[in-house]
Homo-oligomer: A and B are copies of this chain.
Amino acid sequence: MIDALLLNLEQRDTLDEREKTKLRSLLTRDRRIAAQEDIVKEGDQPTTSCLLLEGFAARYTITGDGQRQLTSLHVPGEFIDLHAFMVKTMDHGIVALSPCRIAIAEHSALKELTETEPHLTRLLWLDSLVQSAISRQWLVAMGRRTRAAHLAHIICELYLRLQVVKRVDANSFHFPLSQMQMADVMGLSLVHMNRVIQELRGEEFLTWAKDRITIIDWNRLQRFAGFDPTYLSLQRQPR
């Protein structure tokens, strides 16, 4: 069930059988969530944390005047609210952007893991550090790149994150977000988002139709985006 999590962690370090068993025993129950439904709401004080098994999810915040900003996108194999176990109160919501399946871990079991499994603890901590690094790159893209380069950067990043968990097929991947949802990722209006997408299409970096993105020229796209994958920490080494 938790294959995607193992792919994610084993991309960055090696796990022994005992550790894998421990993780499996941590994540027992699973749950299905419909598209557009909240997985966790702002203000919640959950007693469990969720691992995304299938689908796309996002963190979001609604501002006082009702606008929405998505602050991260999540793909299978990522913990989406692991931090709730130390932070206690959710300062943001998490929404399923497509039908999702999640596995659930009790906070008491996570706390016990930090007491008895220092290596696994470090790897889960690393997972949250990679998520931080992603947020920083999003800030760079939002603040100092052109909108087209910002979008290209997001697509490069998703391509690699999805590749790790075997959700990439040749040069294409399933990507079910609407242009409005992407506008909420990039902080743009829907109209402008549409024009930015057309810019990438026009330059023939990619095709994007229905629910599928296909990269036409990875190297050119990467160069255009100013994308450097260092921040994803994708090398396997002892941590």
From A25-33, A46-54, A122-130, A171-179, the one touching the partner chain is A122-130
- Answer whether residue A138 sits at the interface, using C-beta atoms and an 8 A cutoff: yes
How far, in angstroms, from A72 to B132 measured CA to CA in the complex? 11
Instruction: Note all chain B residues with C-beta closer than 8 A to A145.
Output: 63
Shortest beta-carbon distance from A99 to chain B in Å: 25
How far, in angstroms, from A162 to B137 measured CA to CA in the complex? 25
From A1-9, A113-121, A194-202, A212-220, the one touching the partner chain is A113-121
User: Are A233 and B71 neighbours in the complex by a CB distance under 8 Å?
Assistant: no
User: Are B128 and A131 neighbours in the complex by a CB distance under 8 Å?
Assistant: no
Q: Which of A64, A122, A139, A142 has the most CB of B within 10 A?
A: A139
- List which A50-95 residues lie within 8 A (CB) of chain B: 59, 61, 63-64, 67-69, 71-72, 83, 86-89, 91-92
Shortest beta-carbon distance from A21 to chain B in Å: 20
Instruction: Note all chain B residues with C-beta closer than 8 A to A233.
Output: 87-89
User: Are A140 and B89 neighbours in the complex by a CB distance under 8 Å?
Assistant: no
- List which A184-239 residues lie within 8 A (CB) of chain B: 186-187, 226, 228, 230-231, 233, 235, 237, 239
User: Are B118 and A87 neighbours in the complex by a CB distance under 8 Å?
Assistant: no
The tally of residues in A whose CB lies under 8 Å from a CB in B reads 50
Binding site for B on A (CB under 8 A): 59, 61, 63-64, 67-69, 71-72, 83, 86-89, 91-92, 111, 114-115, 118, 121-122, 125-126, 128-133, 135-140, 142-145, 186-187, 226, 228, 230-231, 233, 235, 237, 239
The 5 closest A-B pairs by CB, nearest first: A143-B187, A91-B231, A135-B135, A71-B136, A64-B226
Given A67-B144, A91-B133, A139-B142, 16 new contacts (CB under 8 A): A63-B140, A63-B144, A69-B144, A72-B136, A86-B129, A86-B239, A87-B129, A88-B237, A89-B233, A91-B137, A114-B121, A121-B121, A125-B125, A132-B135, A138-B139, A139-B187
